[in-house]
Structure 1
Amino acid sequence: MLYALLRHQARLGWWLAKHGREDRPRNRLLVWLTLKEGRTPDQIKRLFNGAKFAPAMLTAHEHGLLVKLQGSTIDHPGMPEEVRLECPSWAADPLRRRFKEAFRQEMAALLTPAPLDLRVNPIKSTREAMLGALKDLGLRAQPSAMAPYGIRLNERVSLASLPMLTTGEVEIQDEGSQLVAMLVDARPGDRVVDFCAGAGGKTLAIAAQMNNKGHVVACDVMDGRLKRAAERFRQAGLHNIQTRLLASETDQWVKRHKGGFDRVLVDAPCSGTGTWRRNPDARWRAPEEQGLDNVVSLQARILASAARLVKPGGRLVYATCSMLPEENEEQVAAFLAAHPAFRAVPLNEAAPRLTGSAHPDYLSLTPARNDTDGFFAAVMQREVVAAPGVAEMG
């Protein structure tokens, strides 16, 4: 119910404003019970009876609101489109520019609950074995449409009922996130940096790609995240990962390891617009607290700093869980313009078997189009420059 209320945040607020009522949780619940669950004033009165563990009794003023709402539904023709689609004002224009005629369809998809996606850890098991184990538990599991190690559960389950989570045989990871890790294309023996590792979901996928061989550095500016990630790495049986706490995106560690890595992933902090169906509260919290311009500026600084770690011929992957052009295509275009040593690698070259992207050159996934979280990823390569006086061989 809490998640449902959050998915109707703007509409519930609109109804309260329409009737001149204070916007507080109790009033929101009363509107929800009436307009979405279809309860009558008498039914709600029996719920709000003041008994032990029950809400306080309805006031005459509250009862009057319920009477006024009878016969209405949660949607109203007088609502602005942004309210009806639960789109915060700061994101409306960028998302309209991004989706054009598909804007309503994409916003509607963001109001649906997200499925539960799992990623099989190939160090410990196979997708076929885990599909069988999940079916033995009575669950409707199926292979993910795009991710080679992905499994989708289209039902609500208690995570405690999934023993393969505690053994490290599977991890919870949206299919789109799995595809971002796949684009890193890490090989056994490579040296790899996950520059904004967070809780380590993509780090785990990358290290598994490498079959526990080579070296992965999981970096972040928050020590608590890295400590939680380290526990996940141990549980997954992955021993080729080192954690590194950075003071900032320009930590001296970056300068000392300039040009030392085959692959660098920058899963940048972002507005999180692509995760709204999974985190319905996020659309009302960020990035208003810090401003979208500040988020875009931070992304640019992180990307420019992390790029220093890529060796000639190495790959740089920039990713967000955003669907805003300012954080995605425009951010990459600005980086490439300022860093001529890098070129964009088209998606059909970076991942020839991957289909379904809304963009021909970059990975671009949306809930309505792909039934994943909204994700963006661009693959860039640092060109190998021949030494002066050395002729290229034909």
Structure 2
Amino acid sequence: MTPAARISAAIEVLDDVIQRRRPASDALKDWGLSRRFAGSKDRAAIASLVYDALRRKASSAFLMASETPRALMLGMLARSRGHSVAEIAELCSGENHAPMPLDADETSRLSVLTLDGAPGWVQADVPEWLWPGFVVSFGTEAIAEGQLLAGRAPIDLRANRLKTSRGRLMDDLAHLAPEAGIWSPDALRFQPGQDGRGPSLQSEPGFFAGAFEIQDEGSQLVTLLAGARPDTTVVDLCAGAGGKTLALAALMADRGRLLATDLDSRRLAPLHERLARSGATNVEIRIPRSRGHDPLADLAGQVDLVLVDAPCTGSGTWRRNPDAKWRVRPGALAERIKDQAEVLARAAKLVKPGGRIAYITCSVLPEENDRAIAAFLDRNTGFQNVPTPEILAAADADGFDGLARFATQFGLQFSPRRTGTDGFYLACLERRA
């Protein structure tokens, strides 16, 4: 396919995403299945165009005074990819499956790329109804944070301490030009290429040997700060596919008792293979047998640490899922807040006196973070918030003092601008003796 034909295809996919309010990955898959002539490079290029257009949906619509898929694509080509009006016009020839030629209004708007006078949410490429929460979280940096969340994410991995070290892994992967992570002592980072993709890490021998797992450095960081220790009892209450479970096992040096569960047992399926690869032997997977069944009932009041990777809007991961931010609605946020209260209540029953809950979200919204903790403390007078300096001092890593400047009322808020990671929140709660 020619570059122009790829743009036409991307506009078609984008129309499907917007009209049917469906995940971009689903629309791209359906497009590819119905057009077998498109090769893997074509599909990758089209996906990159679609995702980049969704990243800048609000600002492109403002620049082009239109929300059509074509307008969003043209605005992105000019602003994000730096194409000149002449270059865009050449791509839009209307010939050989290329988009139709630019009209006078499009040419004029592409010639004057300015967001002067645009509302803050447009400049930040954040849904308008979520903008007040962004301002609460980030203040004068809200626009800059939104713009970075609209960018492309790097690819991070976590060296598995049970099998290797970051230094050895950096040598093993030197042919892929890794960078050391900024905060996590286990993190390596790879920058995305022009197509938005990184190296094929899952085809590396080290991946099959369990030497590393792909995991954003922010996710590694909040797990490090949760306070897991060897020879203790730890529960990963919302384990899902097990990324944080595996990190906890390594932090515990494969000693002690680590239990992983999830209300949706289907999400736990990948964890079995990942555990075998990792070499961790201290993990027990507890699967709910039916709705209402509590697989951890025998552990009530006995757990040293309950890690709650709470269900949330995922606003901190918009770099990786740019279509998700335009699909989230107030009703979904309300449901997530309800879910968060319920999972915290479950965690509270498990913690022993002196034990902790580590509450984590991949969100930057105050409703899911500090406000969720404030509501929990109001309902549970037997718990107290662990001060940020105490969390950082207890971490088994150097250089974490600098994270104190990202403290919120009850926890820590990480973000692309602050820490160079996805947006993650952590608060720790201790049960009084």
TM-score, normalised to structure 1's length?
0.85
Matching residue within 267, 290, 297 for 1:225: 267
Question: How far apart are the structure 2 equivalents of 1:335 and 1:249?
Answer: 24
Cα pair distance change 1:250/1:332, threshold 3 Å: farther
Question: How far apart are the structure 2 equivalents of 1:379 and 1:43?
Answer: 51
Shift of 1:41: 5.9
Q: Deviations over 1:152-182 (max 9, x none)?
A: 2345432246432232101111222112212
Q: Secondary structure at the match of 2:248?
A: helix
Structure 2, unaligned stretches of length 5 or more?
1-48
Cα pair distance change 1:46/1:164, threshold 3 Å: same
Question: Hey, what does 2:414 align to over in structure 1?
Answer: 365
Native 8 Å contact 2:52 2:76 kept in 1:
no
Question: Hey, what does 2:59 align to over in structure 1?
Answer: 11
Matching residue within 176, 182, 186 for 1:145: 182
Alignment of 1:112-127 (within 5 A): 112-127=151-166
Cα pair distance change 1:243/1:346, threshold 3 Å: same
One-letter amino acid of the counterpart of residue 83, structure 2: G
Question: Hey, what does 2:106 align to over in structure 1?
Answer: 66
Native 8 Å contact 1:41 1:66 kept in 2:
no
Shift of 1:105: 2.6
Question: Hey, what does 2:386 align to over in structure 1?
Answer: 345
Shift of 1:208: 1.2
Percent identity of the aligned residues? 36
Native 8 Å contact 2:61 2:71 kept in 1:
no
Q: Deviations over 1:275-313 (max 9, x none)?
A: 222322221122x17332222122111101121111222
1:171 aligns with 2:213: yes
Q: Secondary structure at the match of 1:122?
A: coil
One-letter amino acid of the counterpart of residue 284, structure 1: W
Question: How far apart are the structure 2 equivalents of 1:311 and 1:172?
Answer: 32
Native 8 Å contact 2:235 2:303 kept in 1:
yes
Native 8 Å contact 2:62 2:115 kept in 1:
no
Shift of 1:111: 2.5
Alignment of 1:1-394 (within 5 A): 1-16=49-64, 18=65, 23-34=67-78, 36=80, 37-40=82-85, 44=89, 48-51=93-96, 54-55=97-98, 58=100, 63-73=103-113, 75-135=114-174, 137-142=175-180, 144-156=181-193, 157-160=198-201, 162-246=204-288, 251-286=293-328, 288=329, 290-352=331-393, 354-355=400-401, 356-357=403-404, 358-359=406-407, 362-384=411-433
Q: Secondary structure at the match of 1:253?
A: coil
Shift of 1:377: 0.9
Question: How far apart are the structure 2 equivalents of 1:164 and 1:103?
Answer: 39
Question: Hey, what does 1:388 align to over in structure 2?
Answer: none
Question: How far apart are the structure 1 equivalents of 2:204 and 2:319?
Answer: 23
Shift of 1:351: 3.0
Q: Secondary structure at the match of 2:363?
A: coil
Name which one, 1 or 2, has greater alpha-carbon Rg.
1
Shift of 1:254: 4.1
Higher helix share: 2
Question: How far apart are the structure 2 equivalents of 1:172 and 1:100?
Answer: 32
Native 8 Å contact 2:85 2:111 kept in 1:
no
Question: How far apart are the structure 2 equivalents of 1:274 and 1:192?
Answer: 25
Q: Secondary structure at the match of 1:147?
A: coil
**Could you tell which deviates more after superposition, 82-91 or 6-15?**
6-15
Question: How far apart are the structure 2 equivalents of 1:232 and 1:326?
Answer: 33
Native 8 Å contact 1:31 1:66 kept in 2:
no
Native 8 Å contact 1:181 1:205 kept in 2:
yes
Runs of 4+ displaced beyond 6 Å? none
Native 8 Å contact 2:176 2:199 kept in 1:
no
* RMSD (Å), alpha carbons: 2.6
Aligned residues: 371
Question: How far apart are the structure 1 equivalents of 2:250 and 2:350?
Answer: 22
Question: How far apart are the structure 1 equivalents of 2:420 and 2:189?
Answer: 11
Structure 1, unaligned stretches of length 5 or more?
385-394
Question: How far apart are the structure 2 equivalents of 1:349 and 1:188?
Answer: 19
Native 8 Å contact 1:254 1:308 kept in 2:
no
Question: How far apart are the structure 2 equivalents of 1:229 and 1:113?
Answer: 27
